[in-house]
A and B are shown apart, each in its own frame.
Chain A
């Protein structure tokens, strides 16, 4: 009947949305006010690139990119764990300064 390529069009639109998500996360990675913001942005970029590998496997009709997705998920998890441990160990693990919204205890001597 029609020669409208449903799957190809869907893959193209989804590539555009995925890359917009990666670009937004990259903006947060650049201007994140603190180090945990940047780690969150990196973690989400890894997850989005995993789904990019899945989309590329469909587009290129090649199952090898699913293996790339598995390895990328593994490496991204290890990187996130290492960076989180680094943030926690960086200042000894206890509050260096109180978080901004903690009310000051009024019965402090």
Chain B
């Protein structure tokens, strides 16, 4: 009973954070700020739901696989966000209220 309540709370929190991530990607004004929403809230929601999976099944194989998935998401999501942000900044998408020092164009040119 207690375990069931814990799993339900984890699942509801994870679903809530996934909903917040979707809302952020839809409503925020800029590529970099949207990436902020999708990366952090999305990873937190997925991690909570995978923790709920590990608690629900509670055998060694499933716990290992859920932990591996969480670890993989925690490693790869910042790398992917960094790559997208770098590509977006260098390809010159319009930014919202970012102030850059003059001459950054020459410094970033390879």
**Is there an interface contact between B84 and A36, defined as CB atoms closer than 8 Å?**
yes
The answer, among A50, A83, A88, A97, for a CB contact under 8 Å with B69, is A50
Per the bound structure, the CA–CA distance linking A35 and B15 in Å amounts to 27
Which residue of A has the minimal Cβ distance to B86?
A88
Output the least CB separation between A55 and chain B (Å).
Answer: 6
Output the least CB separation between B40 and chain A (Å).
Answer: 11
Give every chain B residue within 8 A of A103 (Cβ-Cβ): 99-100, 102
B interface bracket (residues with beta carbon within 8 Å of A): 35 or more
**Is there an interface contact between A48 and B42, defined as CB atoms closer than 8 Å?**
yes
**Is there an interface contact between B31 and A24, defined as CB atoms closer than 8 Å?**
no
Asked whether A109 is an interface residue with its Cβ less than 8 Å from the other chain, the reply is no
The answer, among A7, A14, A23, A99, for a CB contact under 8 Å with B89, is A99
Majority SS at the chain B contact face: helix
Per the bound structure, the CA–CA distance linking A4 and B96 in Å amounts to 48
**Is there an interface contact between A58 and B52, defined as CB atoms closer than 8 Å?**
yes
A interface bracket (residues with beta carbon within 8 Å of B): 35 or more
The answer, among A7, A13, A27, A66, for a CB contact under 8 Å with B66, is A66
Given contacts A98-B92, A98-B105, 19 further A-B contacts (CB under 8 A): A7-B4, A10-B12, A16-B15, A18-B15, A21-B19, A24-B23, A24-B26, A28-B34, A35-B91, A40-B31, A43-B81, A51-B45, A77-B80, A81-B79, A85-B87, A87-B84, A95-B90, A99-B100, A101-B97
Write the residues of chain B forming the contact surface with A, with a CB cutoff of 8 angstroms.
4-5, 7-9, 11-12, 14-16, 18-23, 25-26, 31, 34-35, 38, 42-43, 45-46, 49-50, 52-53, 56-57, 61-62, 65-66, 68-69, 72-73, 76-77, 79-81, 83-84, 86-100, 102-105, 108-110
Could you list 17 examples of A-B contacts with CB < 8 Å?
A7-B7, A16-B15, A18-B45, A21-B19, A40-B84, A41-B25, A43-B84, A51-B45, A54-B53, A69-B69, A81-B80, A88-B87, A94-B110, A95-B108, A99-B98, A101-B94, A101-B96
